Amino acid sequence: MIDLSRELFIVIPVHNRRDMLRELLDELNYDPNHIILVDNNSEPPLNQDFSDQGIIVWETERNIQHLWNVGWRSVEVRATGPYAIAFLNSDAWVSLDTLRVMVGCLDSLDASVVSPDSCSILMPGGFIRKTTPGPVPWQHLMAGYGFVVRGELQTRFDERFVWWYGDNDFDWQARREFGGTVLVSGVQIGNRDADGAQRDYPELCEQTNRDRIAFINKWGVDTSG
């Protein structure tokens, strides 16, 4: 199932990780006018060697939710009709066909967000729909390193969450729109350097604790209940 009914944009926040980013862009082999690279203080700046591979937006604030929102706003001024956005980490690994299948599921399943079945718990053709905010088994969590969003969605990323918990918050909010958020079988997105940012910037571990407190203050419960 390859979807052509929505204009697909890809938003990738990037801080360095140039080799992984180049490999991802080569794998996608997609129109650079539909790829938004949100450069978060890379050294040297991405525009020195990626200017022909995407639209580059420079942002200094280290807040992943802010970077996602910046990318979304950049898409809004470029979209000419119904659209979808694939939000990808710079260390993600995915094919363009996989993203197009996920885009197709937005409409075929009436979903606000489509996420891969990252733990491979579903039978072929299966899906899990979430329509109520609240904790779910960890295998049912939205994959924060790669997911696809319906352009008409009213939900945006809550920038009070700087590093972690923002993807969980977005998932919980988006469950209230359309047919909820959906995990679908048969699609996979790799996460090649999952703990790399915390390894390279240990201060992010402390920020994760602050984000956890902010999440509990907002929702009254942690993601695991």
**Digits of tens for pLDDT over the chain (225 positions)?**
455 589 999 999 999 999 999 999 999 999 999 999 999 999 999 999 999 999 999 999 999 999 999 999 999 999 999 999 999 999 999 999 999 999 999 999 999 999 999 999 999 999 999 999 999 999 999 999 999 999 999 999 999 999 999 999 999 999 999 999 999 999 999 999 877 677 777 787 889 999 999 999 999 999 976
Question: 112-143 burial, b for 16+ CB within 10 Å, e for fewer?
Answer: bbbbbbbeeebeeeebbebeeeeebeeebbbb
Structural domain boundaries of the chain? 7-219
Is domain 7-219 in CATH 3.90.550.10, yes or no? yes
Model confidence, pTM = 0.95
Distance from chain centroid for Cα 223: 18
